[in-house]
Structure 1
Amino acid sequence: MTVNTFGIPVMQPQVSGVPRLEYVTGTPLCPWRYRGHEKLYVPVDETEDAFRRFRGRLDDINVLVRSGHVVVVDGVEGSGKTSLIHRCVHDLRTRLATELGHPAEDPDDETGLWHPRPVVPGICVVDLSGDARKVAFDNKSQLHPLDTINQNIFKRVLGGVRERVSGDAGELDAMASDTQSSLVELYQRLRDFLDDRQLFALVILPYIRLGSKEMHGNFLLSYVTFSERRVVFFAETTEPDLMATMRLSLTFEEENLVTTLSIGPLKDKDSESFVNVWQGRPGLAQPHVIISPETVAGVSPEIHFQRVRWLQNSLFQLGEIVCRAGRLEISDHDVRALGEQRRNSPELIRRPRSRRGRGHDDR
């Protein structure tokens, strides 16, 4: 069977109990959940600079024993914000595991690629990135008030922590049923619970379309207020200047609790970099789809993929096309045909042809 090189490899559990390797699209990389996903990141659209900034800001992870933190990633839709958040969570989880005395995995060990990673004792990763509709809307698709949204998120955070503790969930149940205390007080009680058990909680917040920039800013500001030691919140926004506006509302101490990471559009050579990394990734011993860098470079003047999600999805779709045709290589004709099908779609931005004229080269 020919492998679609541009599908995201995930080992899926089966009813039979024997896991099955599948290649999917439309889902972010998640290296804290699946082994090997950390090898699939490509230094495009400024994500490498953003990741280095994250590492620099949380270089001393012991600071999380004294204070919490909020990481906000901004960028346009489809630019890879959620994948970057998962990468940051994986990095922080790995370093915390080492600090807690749990040996780190060998990064060169390729056994068990794409399999789910084991649970790390002492670290609760609460992934709410897919829970936006569940926490933000009622059964009539009406948006809840912000306080209700934050209460729903808190209960899910408690549920995620509860999965990682045993025998003493009564205190968590009491927090979940407390309707008198404020959320600030409840997060303080959660902090004390984590302190007593030397646990850390890494919480990936859902991206919720709240209807206005101001409401979204208030949502993010809430989590600066809720920030407590041993808890790190990760959030994303499509508003590039939102954090700059938010910072005007923060005290000096609160500002030190926030790290902002930004992702930009893809550049000219990013498509070639993406293709080279994914075609050179581990686990491709069997026949797999290929596309030459020359093909990518040849169509770039006509078709420009602005966002990494659209680039990956398009290459995956092309891979499916050539697999069905019994071929291995994506040709420039295949790419141009897909571009023609999508000529009215914002996912593919056609560049204007350069004009001939005095003082200009026609390149």
Structure 2
Amino acid sequence: MTTSRRPINPFPLPGWERTPMRPLRPWERKGHRDYYVDVDGAASAFQEFQQEIGDLTGLLEDGRLVLVTGDSGCGKTALVNRCADWTVLELRRRGMRGVVVDLTGCLPEDEELSIHERTVHVCDQLFDQLVDARAMRQDAEEALRGDRDNPQRIFPRLSRALNDDVVLVVLLPSPNELLDEVVRYARQLRSPRVLFFAESAFFDPDDIAEVVRRLESWVPPITLLVGKLDDGDPERFADDRLVRHTEVGIYPQLSDEAVELLSKICQSVAMLQRILHGTYERKLEAGLSYTEADLVTVDDIRAYLNGLGMHP
């Protein structure tokens, strides 16, 4: 018995239909793993990460810090999540348990905190999540509980406190006082069997070179850059999404002129996703001209953007 196909919007991610702008998160949702499209140079950055991490020996012996840079909306978080997921899968093949600890939203948004205060908050929140994940030995958990907000005490002992089969993959909040905060993370948080990720839209090549210079006597960070959309990226992204749901849903394709307009106005993959999802949602809700024989046109995109107060 075949399920009847119905009109759908083909652009939300599986499981996140109500929050279409959330980034891919394959370490939490396995269905996201094959949704990555080679745009913004993200595939090259992912391959660079794989090469730098290699056989995981450096991670297991010294720990690593990964710094992902690029413009706002270019896919930094999606890349971080892909690298985290790949690391967990590689660890599993070696009989180890990768525990992803997401601290990206752990800092209060309404307070100005110093680097020390931010690091203390990160440490305190990390302890809670390690307890929830049962990542630490019971005796170590009890011994460190009184120092849970003391980075100088927690982080040097972290690898010894973990269960023998556990490796941590920690997603840090975006650094605030950029260079100094990243250097603090690399020096103070570094620990065997702990992989830290930080992302920022504010680093340029000179900043990255300065970070590497200041950490030259330490294990240098892995730095990954994600760029703006390149020629052909909007069409490649749209084509990928539009072929995924043909067996379960009904929806129009994009006209050639609509693809050309998207290529002109979209600077980032986040902007591209927002416009495509919003345009299709608006046309779907209107209930007219939404069949496989129809096309989403330049006028449809402009009508959506005009509704947002944007005029391409």
TM-score (norm 1): 0.76
Please give the root-mean-square deviation of Cα atoms over the aligned residues, in Å.
2.4
Contact residue 124 and residue 160 of structure 1 kept, 8 A: no
* Residue matched to 2:211: 246
Paired residues, number: 299
Counterpart-to-counterpart distance in 2, 1:92 and 1:166: 17
Q: Partner letter of residue 322 of structure 1? A: K
Match of residue 297, structure 1, among 259, 276, 295: 259
* Residue matched to 1:76: 71
Q: Partner letter of residue 281 of structure 2? A: E
Q: Deviations over 1:21-41 (max 9, x none)?
A: x35312110011102201111
Contact residue 67 and residue 197 of structure 2 kept, 8 A: yes
* Residue matched to 2:3: none
Mapping of 1:17-32 within 5 angstroms? 22=17, 24-32=19-27
* Residue matched to 2:165: 198
Contact residue 98 and residue 168 of structure 2 kept, 8 A: yes
Counterpart-to-counterpart distance in 2, 1:8 and 1:264: 22
Q: Partner letter of residue 222 of structure 2? A: T
Matched, 1:317 2:278: yes
5+ long unaligned stretches in structure 1: 12-21, 101-120, 351-363
Q: Partner letter of residue 223 of structure 1? A: Y
Match of residue 131, structure 1, among 97, 106, 118: 106
Relative to its length, the structure with more helix (as a share) is 2
Q: Partner letter of residue 212 of structure 2? A: R
SS at match of 1:251: coil
TM-score (norm 2): 0.87
SS at match of 1:29: coil
Counterpart-to-counterpart distance in 2, 1:338 and 1:191: 51
Q: Partner letter of residue 8 of structure 1? A: L
Counterpart-to-counterpart distance in 2, 1:220 and 1:166: 25
Counterpart-to-counterpart distance in 1, 2:75 and 2:107: 18
Q: Partner letter of residue 114 of structure 2? A: P
5+ long unaligned stretches in structure 2: 1-5
CA separation of 1:235/1:290 partners in 2, compared to 1, >3 Å: closer, same or farther?
Answer: farther
* Residue matched to 1:361: none
Shift of 1:62: 2.8
Mapping of 1:1-363 within 5 angstroms? 1-10=6-15, 22=17, 24-100=19-95, 122-133=97-108, 141-165=110-134, 168-169=137-138, 171-178=140-147, 183-194=151-162, 196-208=163-175, 210=176, 215-225=177-187, 226-241=189-204, 242-255=207-220, 258-281=221-244, 284-292=246-254, 294-300=256-262, 303-326=264-287, 327-328=290-291, 329-341=295-307, 344=310
Shift of 1:290: 3.7
Shift of 1:237: 0.7
Counterpart-to-counterpart distance in 1, 2:66 and 2:83: 9
- What is the percentage of aligned positions where both structures have the same residue? 25
Shift of 1:184: 3.6
